[in-house]
Amino acid sequence: MLEFLKELFGTTEDGQAEALTLEQLEAKIAAGGDKFKIVNIADGGYIAKEKFDKKDLELKAVQKQLCEANDTIKSYTDMDIDGIKKSAEEWQKKYEDDTAELKNQLAAKETEFAARSYLAHFKFADPLAEEVIFGKFMEKKFARENEKFLGADDFMAEMKKDHPTFFVPDEPTPAPAPEPAPAPTPVPAQPKPYFAPQQPPAPSEKKRSLREIMKYHNEHPNEPIKFD
């Protein structure tokens, strides 16, 4: 660190630093020019190397920013403002056109989906017939209100009338089942009379006398008395 002092003072033959008077020291410093520079730290004449390097880097960074700013300003000066404005207007129009086209595509997809859902309630003879009816349906461009196609029911009724082979025939409505007959009212059992009603005698039977009847009853007490 102090090697520069050896060069300033010099050395004797035995390697020791040479002693100098003040006048000799001032003369050697003057003879060295910029090689030796003595400053008073108290007067602020000395800047530490780290501080100097930091300030140097800051200065270079500012110079770089100034160069970039000058280049940017020059690019703005050379820029075609009218061309930029026209380009911005073209991009704005393209954005609006693309947005409108996308909205139309989404609306068409939604209408197609609603039409498919509506036609799903009908039974077609085959997929080809369904596609033909679907194409005719979309050509009508029915207005929609509350998620319903206005006039679609009448259109489909006309299609079934004009093109019956496109549809599966409707199954006939089954006749209502007859109501079951009411159950007969039960008749209460009648008590068995002690005297059985007289039955008219058969033409070939002989009438019995009272004595014969009483005799028969005595022989068969559990049977009711029958008069001929």
**pLDDT tens digits, residue range 144-197?**
988 899 999 999 999 999 999 999 987 777 777 778 777 777 777 666 655 555
Sign for the pseudo-dihedral over CA of 56, 60, 65, 66: positive
Query: H-helix or E-strand containing 190?
Result: none
The pLDDT, as a whole number, for residue 42 is 53
Task: Judge whether residue 202 has pLDDT over 70.
Answer: no
The pLDDT, as a whole number, for residue 89 is 84
The 3-state DSSP class for residue 94 equals helix
What CA–CA distance (Å, rounded) separates 195 from 223? 9
Exposure string over 63-97, b if 16+ CB within 10 A, otherwise e: eeeeeeeeeeeeeeeeeeeeeeeeeeeeeeeeeee
**pLDDT tens digits, residue range 82-122?**
878 888 888 888 888 888 888 888 888 999 999 999 999 99
Of the two residues 204 and 166, the one the predictor is more confident about is 166
**Mean model confidence pLDDT for the chain:** 77
pTM: 0.39
Q: How many percent of the chain have pLDDT more than 90?
A: 23
Highest mean pLDDT of the ranges 23-37, 57-71, 110-124: 110-124
At 174, which amino acid appears? P
Establish how many alpha carbons lie within 13 A of residue 64's alpha carbon, considering only the half-sphere containing its beta carbon.
6
